[in-house]
Amino acid sequence: NAGVTQTPKFRILKIGQSMTLQCAQDMNHNYMYWYRQDPGMGLKLIYYSVGAGITDKGEVPNGYNVSRSTTEDFPLRLELAAPSQTSVYFCASSYGVEEGYTFGSGTRLTVV
Amino acid sequence: SQKIEQNSEALNIQEGKTATLTCNYTNYSPAYLQWYRQDPGRGPVFLLLIRENEKEKRKERLKVTFDTTLKQSLFHITASQPADSATYLCVAAMNTGFQKLVFGTGTRLLVSP
């Protein structure tokens, strides 16, 4: 099984540009999450989904948007990139609420 | 706000010794704790979960303890190997309807041959 697949692995954006970070899982997990990891900080939850068609904000949702049209896919959209969004982004999924998460390998995004 | 505290300094040990990593939390009571391993440039990998009513959990060479009185979890790797070198993240889960995870910043472990 592939687990959680994220694309792209690296991206450089100019201020004001938009992009979508792709995330797909093949484990039939209901729960999916987007986190960002900044140097010296713990992972912060951006958005999460408890199933297809259901999404909700996490701790740091400003500047981002998500959709969940299928169980497998959970893309993260950045509409107007800002330098503060320079970070490493991780997508994760889990079967249930009290389960360990499976993380993707991350997308390193730089906004210049 | 809820925080998880892990030693930011790297832990250096020799191969074959037991590595012990510490995780402290303060003014809250997690329903459970998780431990993850993270290698450079990779996503975290889930290792163990321990609930508040469990004192200890083991998996192969790994052992986790959860002391609700001390508000502390210890993560042990016995017979450590150079391949165990990585950053280990402690994560606290709050039971608030939908779980809220609080991630520590991790402790880097370096195991030398």
What is the CATH classification number for the domain harbouring B66? 2.60.40.10
- pLDDT confidence bin for B29, thresholds 50/70/90: confident
Of A41, A78, A45, A84, which Cα lies nearest the Cα of A63? A78
Confidence at B3, pLDDT banded by 50, 70, 90: confident
On whether residue B107 sits in a domain, the answer given is no
Residue B58 lies in a domain: yes
Out of B34, B99, B103, name the one closest to residue A42 (CB).
B103
What is the spatial distance between Cα A82 and Cα A26, in angstroms, rounded to a whole number?
32
Domain of residue B27: give its range: 17-32+47-81
Tokens read off for A3: 């687990």
**Residues near B91 by beta carbon (within 8 Å), at least 6 away in sequence:** B4, B33, B34, B35, B36, B101, B102, B103, B104
Cα B47 to Cα B41: distance, rounded to the nearest angstrom? 18
Say what the pLDDT of residue B97 is: 58
Superfamily of domain A4-95: Immunoglobulins (2.60.40.10)
Q: What is the mean pLDDT of chain A?
A: 95
Residue ranges in chain A whose pLDDT is less than 50: none
Q: State the pLDDT at residue A99.
A: 85
With beta carbons less than 8 A apart as the criterion, state whether A88 and B31 touch. Answer: no
User: Measured between CB atoms, does A104 come within 8 Å of chain B?
Assistant: yes
Local structure of residue A54 (DSSP, 8 states): E
Q: How many domains does chain B have?
A: 1
Q: Which residues contact A23 (CB under 8 A, 6 or more apart)?
A: A4, A5, A6, A32, A34, A73, A74, A75, A76, A91, A104
The CA distance from B49 to B64, in Å, is: 8
Domain boundaries of chain A, sorted by first residue: 4-95
A48: chain B residues, CB-CB within 8 Å: 98
Q: Is the pLDDT of residue B98 over 70?
A: no
The pLDDT assigned to B111 comes to: 98
pLDDT in tens, B11-21: 999 999 999 99
Q: Is the pLDDT at B75 greater than 90, yes or no?
A: yes
Residue B25 placed within a domain? yes
A47 at interface of B, judged by CB pairs closer than 8 A: no
For residue B61, being part of any structural domain is answered with yes
